[in-house]
Amino acid sequence: MSADPGTLEPRPTPAPTQEKQSITILSELDSYIAERMKGQPATVEDVKERVKVHERQTLSRHRLSLPEFFQALSYDDAPEHKGEFVFKWIFKDKRSIDRHLGVLGWTLVNRSYFQQAPRYLFTANGGVEVGDAILGFIPAKQAIQMRLAPGKRSRERLSSQMTQTEADYVLMTGNPKDEKVYQPKIGPETEESSEEKVPGVLIEGRDF
């Protein structure tokens, strides 16, 4: 029997094609180099400028000196005026970073805070680094308070242990009525020295 011309025969469904995906396996060193490349200057002109900056730093500045961009913002290093921030190189150790960020209130420098800074100053992790140190910053007002705090505590502690018992006499104790506190009395020699001297009169008890 011939097939009914009005009936369509089903067409075979083509097998799904598998897209080929290339997978590149990098060694730890290759992966590190790739990350460092991402943080390199974007153009050749930036590379030239970076070399000039490094030459100036190598010839005339200490290794841990602040980059020129941050000097103008630094309260300590700004020559013409006091900057808004205080910068500090923080040791790249987990405990050191946790202490500075979590306890002391420092913040790590990155481009989100200083968008005008040259790109070549930042490394692959987004920070500004020199050797084993990474740059942190804190508002100058807060930094000054931190610097003055130890001296203030010392003065307060010393003041709490001083009691003025007479016009010219101070006891180093916060409780002058304690039975252990001893205040020496003025002796005869001191009394004699306080008397008015009369010319030609010999005071007994002296051998000079």
Segment 61-100, tens digit of pLDDT: 667 888 889 988 999 876 667 889 999 999 999 999 999 9
Asked if residues 123 and 39 have their Cβ atoms less than 8 Å apart, the reply is yes
In this prediction, the residues of the chain whose per-residue pLDDT falls under 70 are 1-10, 12-25, 52-62, 78-80, 160-208
Q: Residue 77 class from Cβ within 10 Å (0-12 exposed, 13-18 middle, 19+ buried)? A: middle
How far apart CA 160 and CA 174 sit, in angstroms, is 6
Asked if residues 176 and 165 have their Cβ atoms less than 8 Å apart, the reply is yes
Which pLDDT score, from 0 to 100, does residue 139 have? 92
Asked if residues 120 and 49 have their Cβ atoms less than 8 Å apart, the reply is yes
| pLDDT tens, residue by residue, 95-114 | 999 999 999 999 999 999 99
> By C-alpha distance, which of 132, 55, 121, 58 is closest to 93?
132
In three-state secondary structure terms, 98 is helix
Which pLDDT score, from 0 to 100, does residue 86 have? 92
Which pLDDT score, from 0 to 100, does residue 44 have? 87
Structure token digits, residue 14: 């083509």
